A and B are shown apart, each in its own frame.
Chain A
Amino acid sequence: MEFCADPATIEGAKWWLCYLTTPKHQQFYFSFLTVLALILLVAPITLILGFGGALARRSRFYPLKLFGQIYTSMVRGVPDIVFFMFVPIAMDQGLEIIRHWINCPDVTGAIYQGNDFVVCTAAKLPLSTSPQWVHETYGFFLALVAFSIVFGAFAANTVDGALNAVPRNQLETGRAYGMTSGQVFRRVHLPQMWGYALPGLSNLWMILIKATPLLFLLGVEDVVYWARELGSSKTSIFTYPHPDWRIWYFAALLVFYLLLTWVSEKIFARFRTRFTRGQASSAGKIAIEAGQ
Chain B
Amino acid sequence: MSCGQTILDYGLRSIGIGARLLPKADITLCEQVVLIGSGMIWNVYLALIAVTLGFFSATMLATAKASSNPIFERPARAFIFLFRGSPLFIQFFFGYELFVILPKVGFDIPLGFTTITVETAWFTKAWLGALIVLFFNTTAYSAEIFYGALRSVPSGDIEAAESFGMSGFKRFRRIIWPTLLRLAWPSYTNEAIFLFHATALVFFTGFPAWQQRGDALYYSNYFAEKTFNPFVAYPIVAGYFILFTLVIIFVFSRVNRRLNRHIAPELRSRVRYRPQIIR
Contacts of A216 in B (CB 8 A): 89
Q: Are A90 and B238 in contact (CB under 8 A)?
A: no
Q: A79-B241, A81-B217 are in contact. Are A258 and B94 (CB under 8 A)?
A: no
Contacts of A250 in B (CB 8 A): 90, 93-94, 97
Query: Measured between C-beta atoms, what is the minimum distance from B234 to chain A in Å?
Result: 4
- Total interface residues in chain A, CB < 8 Å: 46
Q: Which of A191-237 contact B (CB under 8 A)?
A: 204, 207, 209-214, 216-217, 224, 227-228, 231
Interface string of B217-238 (1 = CB under 8 A from A): 1001100101111110010011
Q: Which of B52-88 contact A (CB under 8 A)?
A: 81-82, 84-88
Query: Measured between C-beta atoms, what is the minimum distance from A113 to chain B in Å?
Result: 9
- Of B82, B84, B230, chain A has the most CB atoms within 10 Å of the CB of B230
Q: Are B86 and A257 in contact (CB under 8 A)?
A: yes
In the complex, whether A45 has a CB less than 8 A from a CB of chain B is no
Query: Measured between C-beta atoms, what is the minimum distance from A118 to chain B in Å?
Result: 9
A210 to B86 CA separation, bound complex (whole angstroms)? 6
- Of A112, A250, A258, chain B has the most CB atoms within 10 Å of the CB of A250
- Total interface residues in chain B, CB < 8 Å: 48
Q: Specify the chain B residue showing the minimal Cβ separation from A217.
A: B204
Q: Are B90 and A213 in contact (CB under 8 A)?
A: yes
Contacts of A85 in B (CB 8 A): 217, 220-221, 224, 230, 234
In the complex, whether B255 has a CB less than 8 A from a CB of chain A is no
Query: Measured between C-beta atoms, what is the minimum distance from B201 to chain A in Å?
Result: 6
In the complex, whether A244 has a CB less than 8 A from a CB of chain B is yes
Contacts of B81 in A (CB 8 A): 258, 262
Choice from B86, B87, B198, B226 contacting A79 with Cβ under 8 Å: B198
In the complex, whether A287 has a CB less than 8 A from a CB of chain B is no
Q: Are B94 and A75 in contact (CB under 8 A)?
A: no
Q: Are A157 and B227 in contact (CB under 8 A)?
A: no
Q: Specify the chain A residue showing the minimal Cβ separation from B273.
A: A76
- Of A75, A157, A213, A251, chain B has the most CB atoms within 10 Å of the CB of A213
In the complex, whether B197 has a CB less than 8 A from a CB of chain A is yes
Interface string of A77-109 (1 = CB under 8 A from B): 111111001100110010000000000000000
In the complex, whether B40 has a CB less than 8 A from a CB of chain A is no
Contacts of A154 in B (CB 8 A): 275-277
Q: Specify the chain B residue showing the minimal Cβ separation from A113.
A: B228
In the complex, whether B105 has a CB less than 8 A from a CB of chain A is no
Q: Are B89 and A224 in contact (CB under 8 A)?
A: yes
Contacts of B87 in A (CB 8 A): 209-213, 257
Q: Are A210 and B238 in contact (CB under 8 A)?
A: no
Query: Measured between C-beta atoms, what is the minimum distance from B157 to chain A in Å?
Result: 20
Q: Are B277 and A207 in contact (CB under 8 A)?
A: yes
Q: Which of A230-254 contact B (CB under 8 A)?
A: 231, 244, 246-247, 250-251, 253-254
Q: Are B238 and A82 in contact (CB under 8 A)?
A: yes
In the complex, whether B98 has a CB less than 8 A from a CB of chain A is yes
B interface list, Cβ under 8 A from A: 25-27, 81-82, 84-91, 93-94, 97-98, 100-101, 197-198, 200-201, 204, 217, 220-221, 224, 226-231, 234, 237-238, 241-242, 245-246, 273-279
A interface list, Cβ under 8 A from B: 75-82, 85-86, 89-90, 93, 112, 114-117, 153-154, 157, 204, 207, 209-214, 216-217, 224, 227-228, 231, 244, 246-247, 250-251, 253-254, 257-258, 261-262
Q: Which 5 A-B pairs have the closest CB atoms?
A: A117-B228, A79-B197, A210-B87, A213-B89, A247-B97
New A-B pairs, 15, CB < 8 Å, besides A77-B238, A115-B27, A213-B87: A77-B273, A78-B238, A81-B217, A85-B217, A85-B224, A89-B224, A93-B230, A114-B26, A207-B279, A209-B87, A211-B87, A211-B277, A224-B89, A258-B81, A258-B86
A sample of 20 cross-chain residue pairs with beta-carbon separation below 8 angstroms, ordered by A number, consists of A76-B275, A77-B273, A79-B197, A85-B220, A112-B228, A115-B25, A115-B26, A115-B228, A207-B279, A210-B89, A210-B278, A211-B87, A211-B277, A213-B87, A213-B89, A224-B89, A253-B93, A254-B94, A258-B82, A258-B85
